Homo-oligomer: A and B are copies of this chain.
Amino acid sequence: MKSVVCHAAKDLRLEESPLPEPGPRQLRVRIAYGGICGSDLHYYQHGGFGTVRIRQALALGHEVSGVVDALGAEVTHLRPGQRIAISPSRPCGHCRFCQSGQHNHCLNMRFFGSAMPFPHIQGAFSEQVVIEAHQAHPIDPTLSLSLAALAEPLSVGLHAISRAGSVLGQQVLVTGCGPIGSLLIGALRRAGAGRIVAADIADLPLQCARQMGADETINLKSQADRIESYKLEKGQFDAVFEASGTEAALRLGLDLIRPRGILVSIGMGGDVSLPMTQLAAKEVDLRGTFRFHPEFATAVRFLNEGLIDGRPVITAVLPLNRALEAFDLAGDKSRSLKVQIAFSEETV
């Protein structure tokens, strides 16, 4: 069985490992598709991000779909051959955060493909993976396994919206229209946003943003003048979602948001200089967002029922034996949004 394993920055290998056996409440899954996420890229390109560094071999990957292969003795609600989206999230259920419904802050979280704890939590970019039964979300016959692997990044977008509260009828700005920003736009349209403006510094993501439902797209390099009118009367956006992770976008958001508006920061950008006087005087509400929990089931529902269509986001699918090429492609923002690895021919 092959896995995509990162040993250090720029040291990514396709490695053999033994087939794992599921425990009584677990199942084994043949992975179909795995999307390459920004954090996967960070491990590959830089060996980590911030204080999180790879200290032992780490199988990457947490955006995956697959087909049930073998069931543990106590798992009765699933069957072999079933097509599923897989949540990468395994909270403990016992800590004070789990007991208050904030499972994404679990003190003992085992999230696929993460170097935050040590020993690291191995990821799901393998031909077969053992998961807990609660991680499996059956998908509709009409939904492809490739699209099902978007459930995870879509969950991130849905959770970001839930952090903002209701956006029904609101005028919303999204800065940064990569895979997360673009899926977020699809989710905002579904969540009843009144008008969605998408901003980026490149045309490929803006094109995707429009396909996902943005009413207006603005290239901040070539069309910066079009942003001016949104500064009027202390700012025109009810909510801003910052998905680029840049200081410039965050500061722009503070300029354009109306007093008491909500600015959700999705992109992690390390240390950033912020104009606190402006934030205070406009009473901006700057909210962080991190992963998701109940939103994964919602994401699968929306994908299953065609209520959100993620197709514009996937720009390339490469077979497992070209996994390293897939990582390089995913790192090239001028050509790629979401790049997926196909782990098996038959499941495609």
Per DSSP, chain A at the interface is mixed
Chain B residues contacting A102 (CB-CB under 8 Å) are: 101, 259-260
A87: min CB distance to chain B, Å: 14
The stretch of A70-78, A124-132, A290-298, A340-348 in contact with B is A290-298
Give Cα distance in the complex from A250 to B272, angstroms: 13
The answer to whether B280 and A268 have CB atoms under 8 Å apart is yes
CA gap between A273 and B189 in the complex, in Å:
33
B-contacting residues, A265-299, CB 8 Å: 265-277, 279-290, 294-295, 297-298
| Interface hits, A223-250 → B, CB 8 Å | 233-234, 245, 250
Considering only CB atoms, which chain B residue lies closest to A93 in the complex? B99
Known contacts A272-B276, A283-B105, A166 near B165 by CB under 8 Å: yes
Nearest chain B CB to A51 CB, angstrom units: 9
A110 adjacent to chain B (CB < 8 Å): no
Residue of B nearest to A167 (CB): B166
Q: Using CB atoms and an 8 Å cutoff, list the residues of chain A in contact with chain B.
A: 49-50, 93-94, 96-105, 107, 158, 161-163, 165-169, 187, 189-192, 194-195, 215, 233-234, 245, 250, 259-260, 265-277, 279-290, 294-295, 297-298, 301-302, 305, 307
Q: State the copy count for this chain.
A: 4
Across the interface, do B168 and A298 meet the contact criterion of CB distance under 8 Å? yes
List 17 additional A-B contacts (Cβ < 8 Å) besides A101-B102, A268-B281, A272-B276: A99-B103, A107-B234, A158-B169, A165-B165, A190-B192, A245-B276, A250-B276, A265-B280, A267-B280, A271-B274, A273-B273, A280-B288, A280-B289, A283-B287, A285-B285, A285-B288, A286-B287
Q: Separation in Å of the A139 CB from the closest CB of chain B?
A: 15
* Chain B residue, CB-CB nearest to A251: B271
> How many whole Å from A25's CB to the nearest CB in chain B?
14
A275 touches B280 (CB 8 A): no
A97 shortest CB reach to chain B, Å: 7
> What chain B residues lie within 8 Å of A187 (beta carbons)?
192
A294's closest neighbor in chain B, by CB? B169
A274 partner residues in chain B, CB cutoff 8 A: 271-274
A295→B97 CA distance, assembly (Å):
17
CA distance A105 to B192 in the complex (A): 25
Question: Are B260's CB and A105's CB within 8 A?
Answer: yes
Q: Give chain B residues whose Cβ lies under 8 Å from the Cβ of A287.
A: 283-286
In angstroms, Cα B301 to Cα A233, docked, is 22
Cβ of A184 to closest chain B Cβ, rounded Å: 12
Q: How far is the CA of A277 from the CA of B276 in the complex (A)?
A: 17
